[in-house]
Amino acid sequence: MSLDLAPIFYQGLVGINRATYILIAALGLTLIFGVVGVVNFAHGSFYMLGAYFTGTLLWLFGGNFWLSIIIAPFVIMAVGGLVERFLLRPLYRFPTEFQLLLTYALVLVFYDGVRIIWGTQYFTAEVPEGLNWSFGVPGGVMPFYNVFIMIICSLTVLSLYYILFKTSWGMKVRVTSMDRDMASAVGINVKRIYSSAFMLGIWLAAFSGSLIVPRTATSPGLGDSIIIESFAIVVVGGLGSLRGAILGSMIIGLFEAYGLFLIPGLELAFLYIPLLIILIVRPRGLFGKKYS
Amino acid sequence: MDNGQEEDGVREGLLNRKISRRKAVSSMAAAGAVIGVGVVAGAGGYLAASSAPRQAPSTLTQTVTSTGAAQTVTQTASAPTVKLKDPIKIGGQAIMSGPYGNYGNFMLNGAKMAVDEINASGGILGSKLELNWLDDKIDPNQGIKNARSLTDDWGADFLMGIDSSAVGVAVAGVLPELNRMLILSHAIYPTINEGLAYKKGWAVFEGCQNVYMDGGQAALIAKDMPIKVWGAIAVDYEWGWGVWDWFKYSLSKYRPDVQFLDPVWIPGTIITDHDPYDSALLAKNPEGVLCVNWSQGLATQIKQMTASGFFNKVPTSQFITPMGLAIDVLETLGKDYPEGIWASTRAWFQYPSSDLNKTYVKNYLSRYNHYPAYSSTTAYSDIYALKAAIEKAQSTDTDKVVAAMKGLSLYTPMGRVWVRPEDNQFMYDVPYGQITHDPAYPIPVITNWKMWPAELWTPWPPFGQVQWRP
pLDDT tens figures, A165-210: 999 999 999 999 988 899 999 999 999 999 999 999 999 999 999 9
d(CA B143, CA B167): 6
Q: Do the beta carbons of residue A173 and residue A55 sit within 8 Å?
A: no
Instruction: Give every strand in the sheet of B88-94, ordered side by side.
Output: B129-135, B88-94, B158-161, B182-184, B204-206
Instruction: Reply yes or no on whether the pLDDT at A229 is more than 70.
Output: yes
Instruction: Reply yes or no on whether the pLDDT at A285 is more than 50.
Output: yes
Bridge-based pairing state of the strands A140-143 and A134-137: antiparallel
Instruction: Reply yes or no on whether the pLDDT at A292 is more than 80.
Output: no
Q: Which of A224, A261, A267 sits opposite B283 (nearest CB)?
A: A261
How many residues would you count in chain B?
Answer: 470
Nearest CA in chain B to A257: B276
- Whether residues A115 and B307 touch (CB distance < 8 A) is answered with no
Whole-number pLDDT of residue B249: 97
Whole-number pLDDT of residue B16: 37
Whole-number pLDDT of residue A122: 87
Bridge-based pairing state of the strands B319-321 and B288-292: parallel
Note whether A3 contacts B: Cβ–Cβ < 8 A: no
Region for B122 from its dihedrals, namely left if φ exceeds 0, alpha if ψ lies in -120 to 50, beta otherwise: left
- The phi, psi pair for B312, rounded to 5°, reads -75, -30
User: What are the start-end ranges of the H helices in B334-467?
Assistant: 355-368, 374-393, 398-405, 454-457
Q: Do the beta carbons of residue B349 and residue B371 sit within 8 Å?
A: yes
Whole-number pLDDT of residue A284: 87
Summarize pLDDT for A67-113 with one digit per residue, the tens.
999 999 999 999 999 999 999 999 998 888 899 999 999 999 998 89
Q: Which of A123, A220, A228 sits opposite B99 (nearest CB)?
A: A220
Bridge-based pairing state of the strands B71-76 and B61-66: antiparallel
CB count within 10 Å of CB B312 equals: 13
pLDDT 10s digit of each residue in chain B, 470 long? 333 333 333 333 333 333 333 343 344 444 333 333 332 233 333 222 232 333 333 333 333 344 433 444 444 444 556 889 999 999 999 999 888 889 999 999 999 999 999 999 999 999 999 999 999 999 999 999 999 999 999 999 999 999 999 999 999 999 999 999 999 999 999 999 999 999 999 999 999 999 999 999 999 999 999 999 999 999 999 999 999 999 999 999 999 999 999 999 998 777 889 999 999 999 999 999 999 999 999 999 999 999 999 999 999 999 999 999 999 999 999 999 999 999 999 999 999 999 999 999 999 999 999 999 999 999 999 999 999 999 999 999 999 999 999 999 999 999 999 999 999 999 999 999 999 999 999 999 999 999 999 999 999 999 999 999 88
Whole-number pLDDT of residue B269: 74
H or E element at residue B450: strand B445-450
Considering only CA atoms, which of B206, B451, B189 is closest in space to residue B345?
A: B451
Interface of B with A (CB under 8 A): 97-102, 104-105, 236, 262-265, 267, 269-273, 275-277, 279-280, 282-283, 295-297, 299-300, 303-304, 307-309, 312, 328, 331-333, 336
d(CA B161, CA B328): 18
Q: Do the beta carbons of residue B231 and residue B288 sit within 8 Å?
A: yes
- Whether residues A219 and B283 touch (CB distance < 8 A) is answered with no
Whole-number pLDDT of residue B47: 28
Q: Do the beta carbons of residue B140 and residue B166 sit within 8 Å?
A: yes
Note whether A140 contacts B: Cβ–Cβ < 8 A: yes
- Whether residues B282 and A216 touch (CB distance < 8 A) is answered with no
Nearest CA of chain B to the CA of A122: how many Å?
A: 6
Instruction: Reply yes or no on whether the pLDDT at A217 is more than 60.
Output: yes
Whole-number pLDDT of residue B57: 32
H or E element at residue B91: strand B88-94
Substitution target in B135, B235, B236, B279 with the highest count of A β-carbons within 10 Å is B279
CB count within 10 Å of CB B104 equals: 29
Nearest CA in chain B to A118: B102
Whole-number pLDDT of residue A291: 57
Note whether A31 contacts B: Cβ–Cβ < 8 A: no
pTM: 0.86
d(CA B94, CA B115): 17
Q: Do the beta carbons of residue B195 and residue B326 sit within 8 Å?
A: no
d(CA B52, CA B84): 36
Q: Do the beta carbons of residue B466 and residue B246 sit within 8 Å?
A: yes
Substitution target in A225, A226, A227 with the highest count of B β-carbons within 10 Å is A225
Greater pLDDT, B1 or A27: A27
**B216: Cα separation from own chain's centroid:** 13
**High-pLDDT (> 70) share of chain A, %:** 97
Q: Which of A115, A212, A217 sits opposite B97 (nearest CB)?
A: A115
Average per-residue pLDDT in chain A? 91
Cα torsion angle, B413, B415, B416, B419, sign: negative
Q: Which residues of A touch B236 (CB under 8 A)?
A: 265
All residues at 6 or more sequence positions from A236 whose CB lies less than 8 Å from its CB, including other chains: A244, A247, A248, A251, A252, A274, A275, A278, A285, A286
Instruction: Report ipTM (2 d.p.).
Output: 0.90
d(CA A23, CA B232): 30
Q: Which residues of A touch B282 (CB under 8 A)?
A: 7, 140
| Residue B81 burial class via C-beta count within 10 angstroms: exposed 0-12, middle 13-18, buried 19 and up | exposed
**B277: Cα separation from own chain's centroid:** 27
Whole-number pLDDT of residue B6: 38
